[in-house]
Amino acid sequence: MPGPATAATLAAVRRAWGSGFTVRVVSFRTGAADISVPVVGPLAGWRLEHIRRHYGAPAHVVLGLQPGVPFSDLRPAQQVATTAGLAIALRRFKRATLLVGEDPGLMPGCFRALVYCADECIVGSDEARRGLEERYNLRPGTVTVEEVEPYPSFPAGADPLAGGLYRPGLRPGLTVVELPTTTLAQRARARLTRSTFLRRFVTH
C-alpha cells in the first residue's frame, strides 16, 4: 500500500543493494514480494523463523512495523504474545533491524521490548524519531533516522476518486485479517512463551 511504510521499505531495500547485499522481500500481502507469509499476530515469530529457515539462515533481518502489521490485534494479551514470539525470532539472526514505517500504536512495554531485542531501529524522519522517543520513553539515540523520499498517494495521472488501492486516506489504518492455523502443541508453546515474556519484561 502506498504511504510511509512503502517509502521506508523501498529505501531499506535500496540501501541494502547499495551495500552489495542480496535482498529477499517477504510480504504479508499476496503479490507484493517474492513470497507471501502472514508474519502477523501471535504466530508472527513462528512464521519469521520459518522464513529464516526457508532462506538458509540469512545473517540479517529487517522487520517492518506499521499499523496492523505485524500486530494485527491490539488487545493486551495478543500484543504480548506477538511481541514474545518476535523477540525470540529476532534473536536468532546475527543482526536484526526494526524499520518503523508508521507508529504501530503498541503498549510501551511491547514496543520497547522489540526495540531492545533488535540491533537498530530506523525511522524516516526526525519528526518520527521524536514521536517514538516521547510516546515509548526510549533512550536518546535508540532510534536512527534514515531519510526517505515520500511515496505518492496516487499513481501519476490517477483520479483520486477512482484510485482504487491508491486511496489510503479513506481508512484510518490498515486492517489485517488473520486466519491462523495452529496445532494444539503450537498453542501450548505460544502460551508458555507469553508467560516467560511476562515474567522477564513486564513484571520487572
Residue 203, judged by CB atoms within 10 A of its CB (0-12, 13-18, 19+), counts as exposed
- Contact status, residue 59 vs residue 50, Cβ threshold 8 Å: no
159, 161, 162, 165 alpha-carbon torsion, rounded to 10°: 100
- Position 27 confidence tier, pLDDT thresholds 50, 70, 90: confident
User: Is 165 among the domain residues?
Assistant: no
Q: How many domains does the chain have?
A: 1
Cell numbers describing residue 78? 495478543
Cell numbers describing residue 136? 515509548
In the DSSP assignment, the letter for residue 33 is S
Q: Looking at the predicted structure, is the pLDDT value of residue 121 above 80?
A: yes
Confidence (pLDDT) at 185? 62
CB 47: neighbour CB atoms within 10 A?
21
User: Is 101 among the domain residues?
Assistant: yes
User: Is 42 among the domain residues?
Assistant: yes
Which helix (H) or strand (E) is 45 found in, with range? Answer: helix 44-54
User: Is 164 among the domain residues?
Assistant: no
User: Is 187 among the domain residues?
Assistant: yes
User: Is 157 among the domain residues?
Assistant: no
Q: Is the pTM of this model over 0.75?
A: no
What rounded mean pLDDT belongs to the chain?
81
What is the Cα 29 distance to its own chain's centre?
13
Question: pLDDT tens digits for 53-102?
Answer: 999 999 999 999 999 999 999 999 999 999 999 999 999 999 999 999 88
Domain of 139, in residue numbers: 4-152+174-202
Whole-angstrom distance, CA of residue 134 vs CA of residue 112 = 12
User: Is 94 among the domain residues?
Assistant: yes
